[in-house]
Amino acid sequence: MRHYKRFVQFAVTAAIATATTSFSIPVAFAGLQMESKTIKYPVAEKGATVDNYSGVSVADPYRWLEDTNSEKTHAWVEEENTVTRAYLDSIPERGDIAKRLRELWNYERCGVPSKFGKNLFYSKNDGLQNQNVLYVKDLARQNARVLLDPNTLSKDGTVALSTYNSTDDGTLIAYGLSASGSDWEDWYVKDVSTGKDLSDHLKWLKNAEVAWSADKSGFYYPRYDEPKQGSELQQANYYQKLFFHKIGTAQSDDKLIYERRDDKELEFAPTVTDDGNYLVVGVYHGTSPKNGILIENLKDPASKLMELFAPGKAMYSLVGNDGAKFYFLTDEGAPHARVISMDTKVADGKISGDENVIVKDHDDTIEQVSYLDGKLICRYLKDACNTVAIYDVNGKFDRMLDLPGLGAADGFTGRQSDTDTYYSYTSFNTPAVIYHIDLNNKKQDEFFKPTFKFNSDDYVTDQIFCKSKDGTTVPVFVSHKKGIALDGKNPTYLYGYGGFKISLLPFYSPSNLLWMERGGVFAVATLRGGGEYGESWHQSGMKLNKQKVFDDFIGAAQCLIDKKYTCSEKLSIGGGSNGGLLVGACITERPDLYRAAVAQVGVMDMLRFNKFTVGWEWVQEYGSPENADEFKALYAYSPLHNIKSGVCYPCTLITTADHDDRVVPGHSFKFTAAMQAVQKCDNPVLIRVDVKAGHGHGKSTEKLIDEATDKWAFLTKTLGTPKSVR
């Protein structure tokens, strides 16, 4: 079942100022133009656009920068990139940083395998390949071979394998490719035995999941109508439809299975049960985790999709089924989620069922459940780390899985008949190790363990607990090289996200390791708005409560200072996407608290985020600018609209990309222009615009290394990070 989290998390994010409550036009837009004494920024012309929201006039002088196809915008971007490159390329340490990053990145890594029939599918990267390569292994013969190498599909490594799904017997895969970082995907079908593509080619899918029929005749998939030519990266995407594609036929002949002309914002995620008897469709309204469920009996010609759960009430994720008995993970009546069974019946064209609780809700949040070999494998969240418990199908506790330590586990997928499965484990200083579990003899062994060019024992991660403005406890992971002095002078990078019920668990990144290796502290704050403590934790940081997320982050920053990890002059903050919004809001609310900030592909204009591509989905999380109360809250923290003259903002690096069709580049363009226009001091405000790249999905290794090099070089110059202490 598709997960509802469509807003990709970047993993891989003292006194607290009161939120702005004035609704007059911010001074930043009043025509004042200032510039740094040391950096001459391109002049961004101010227009006269003014919008009215609930009776409030709001200026938008840089509206023209939303048009990423205009020559005027192109010229501004080129000038900005020239200024940014001149600044970053002049940093003496940049060359050493780039060299060491390539060394740290150059290690073999493996994804979590998935078993279909006699075949095992998994991704691998030999170290510096731009894209991961899909392998298939014949379990009977124990030989592995390359099935799909995206690196052969483009010279610059900007075509990526988005996802794939196999038939139950492992003989065919349907797979999606994305180009230049766009969320748009082209889907194809490959014969696994020959490695050759069939004639099938599907377009206008986005972040899609497909579900094969049991007879392999085709698959169910969701797609949008073709957008207007030239507006593919900006046009709002509505009215998703569910189709069935028959193998060997044209997409134009695909059968429409389901649509809702009465609700343009619904999206669909199909699953076919392991027995092949039922089509189960998740129905999502934007990014809300409160989805619906539709079920159709595929063995009954008279059956049709019927609603078992309506969207908007709770989260329901299909775990599996035994005939007409279905198992779901849900948070209905369970703040930390529980597993239920439902004996369904059909009468008068409607489906209903009697519910039975299998695994009860308790203090730790259930994040994922797999149904394998008559067992329920439940992955829990405990203070933003994973634990794994195994129950039988009736809910009787069997055992806790022995994990290597405090970190993050992922995987545990398979068919209900499988007696084994695979999972990965990682932490802030340990690249992912892949484990194989035999569920019968309860043994696990290493399937893959990477070899890397550093000593993980040289680093330590602590979890500290900080206080937010309202007294809420905010956990913060703090990682660094062993033996640092808590003298308040360590260059520190604090990362956060705080939204969309996305949980920030321990994760390994060669980029972050470089920072720690060079003497820096890397901290990750567990903010409200995420899913670490269940749906109540999420709701306490969304819509009218969004300010609490920023309060949490500011509280975490002050906590790091109070505990002598760092000081304001050595502290930087960073985040991407919704985390970019976090950074933008925090530097406009507390510009004095940090020396530097890195805001990646951020949502900076909270009054127009819903106008482009899938931005309307986020109304479920942020609220609507058209709603008077929600507009008031949005306007109070919107980064673009809270930039003020006469303020010295931190040294700021803003990043975006020309093919970002999730958070369109106009957000970052307008924010940059507005901040550069009023920056009081000589702290640089720079924007880095990547080309042939998007929101982050599918970004090539070369581009990842280049971006990380620029980030750490920027922070080295602004924070004075010491040279390598290895």
Amino acid in the structure at residue 549 = V
Write down the pLDDT at residue 27: 32
Phi, psi angles (nearest 5°) of residue 74: -60, -40
Instruction: For 324-335, write each residue's pLDDT tens digit.
Output: 999 999 999 999
Residues 607-634 have a mean pLDDT of: 97
Q: Strand 473-481 vs strand 459-467: parallel, antiparallel, or unpaired?
A: antiparallel
The string of DSSP codes covering 24-64 is: SPPGGGSS-----SS--PPP------EEEETTEEEE-TTGG
Write down the pLDDT at residue 722: 60
Q: In the predicted model, is pLDDT for residue 666 greater than 70? A: yes
Q: In the predicted model, is pLDDT for residue 7 greater than 80? A: no
Q: Exposed, middle or buried, 53 (CB in 10 Å: 0-12/13-18/19+)?
A: middle
Task: Return all residues near 152 (Cβ < 8 A) that are at least 6 apart.
Answer: none
Task: Bin 401: left if φ > 0, else alpha if -120 < ψ < 50, else beta.
Answer: beta
Write down the pLDDT at residue 697: 79
Residue where the block lists tokens 């797979």: 175
Residues 390-409 have a mean pLDDT of: 94
Active-site choice (577, 638, 668, 700): 577
Query: Is 577 considered catalytic here?
Result: yes
Q: In the predicted model, is pLDDT for residue 21 greater than 60? A: no
Task: Bin 601: left if φ > 0, else alpha if -120 < ψ < 50, else beta.
Answer: left
Structure token digits, residue 366: 């259930």
Residue where the block lists tokens 């690196």: 151
Task: Return all residues near 395 (Cβ < 8 A) that are at least 6 apart.
Answer: 339, 357, 358, 359, 360, 376
Residues 317-340 have a mean pLDDT of: 97
Q: How many CA atoms lie within 13 A of 489 on its CB side?
A: 5
**Which residue, 372, 344, 202, 377, is CA-closest to 278?**
344
Q: Is the distance from CB of 320 to CB of 540 less than 8 angstroms?
A: no
**CA–centroid distance for 497 within its chain:** 9
Q: In the predicted model, is pLDDT for residue 37 greater than 60? A: no
Instruction: For 462-498, write each residue's pLDDT tens digit.
Output: 999 999 999 999 999 999 999 999 999 999 999 999 9
Coil, strand, or helix at residue 460? strand
d(CA 75, CA 63): 15
Coil, strand, or helix at residue 681? coil
**Which residue, 422, 338, 348, is CA-closest to 137?**
422
Q: Is the distance from CB of 336 to CB of 534 less than 8 angstroms?
A: yes
Exposure string for 310-342, b = 16+ CB within 10 A, e = fewer: ebeebbbbbbbbeebebbbbbbbebebbbbbbb
What does pTM read for this prediction?
Answer: 0.93
Coil, strand, or helix at residue 164? strand
**Which residue, 569, 716, 676, is CA-closest to 39?**
676
Q: Which strands form 218-223's sheet, in the order they lie side by side?
A: 211-212, 218-223, 241-246, 255-258
Quick one: DSSP state of residue 225? P
Query: Is 436 considered catalytic here?
Result: no
The string of DSSP codes covering 359-399 is: E---SSEEEEEEEETTEEEEEEEETTEEEEEEEETT--EEE
Task: Bin 625: left if φ > 0, else alpha if -120 < ψ < 50, else beta.
Answer: alpha
Q: Is the distance from CB of 461 to CB of 506 less than 8 angstroms?
A: yes
Name the CA dihedral angle for 679, 684, 685, 687, rounded to a multiple of 10 degrees: 160
Coil, strand, or helix at residue 434? strand
Phi, psi angles (nearest 5°) of residue 51: -110, 160
Write down the pLDDT at residue 236: 87
Write down the pLDDT at residue 393: 97
**Which residue, 163, 189, 168, is CA-closest to 119?**
168
Angle subtended at Cα 437 by Cα 435 and Cα 442, rounded to the nearest 5 degrees = 135
Residues 186-193 have a mean pLDDT of: 98
Active-site choice (123, 572, 695, 700): 695
**CA–centroid distance for 378 within its chain:** 22
**Which residue, 334, 465, 456, 335, is CA-closest to 407?**
456
Q: How many CB atoms lie within 10 A of CB 424?
A: 22
Write down the pLDDT at residue 721: 66
Name the CA dihedral angle for 524, 530, 535, 538, rounded to a multiple of 10 degrees: 120
Give the C-alpha distances (Å, rounded to integers) separating 366 from 218, 336, 363, 533: 33, 6, 9, 9
The string of DSSP codes covering 253-276 is: GPEEEE--TT-TTEEEEEEE-TTS
Instruction: For 224-280, write each residue's pLDDT tens digit.
Output: 999 998 888 889 899 999 999 999 999 999 999 999 999 999 999 999 999 999 999
Q: How many CB atoms lie within 10 A of CB 591?
A: 20
Residues 604-623 have a mean pLDDT of: 96
Residues 428-442 have a mean pLDDT of: 95
Residues 309-314 have a mean pLDDT of: 96
Q: In the predicted model, is pLDDT for residue 18 greater than 80? A: no
Write down the pLDDT at residue 612: 94
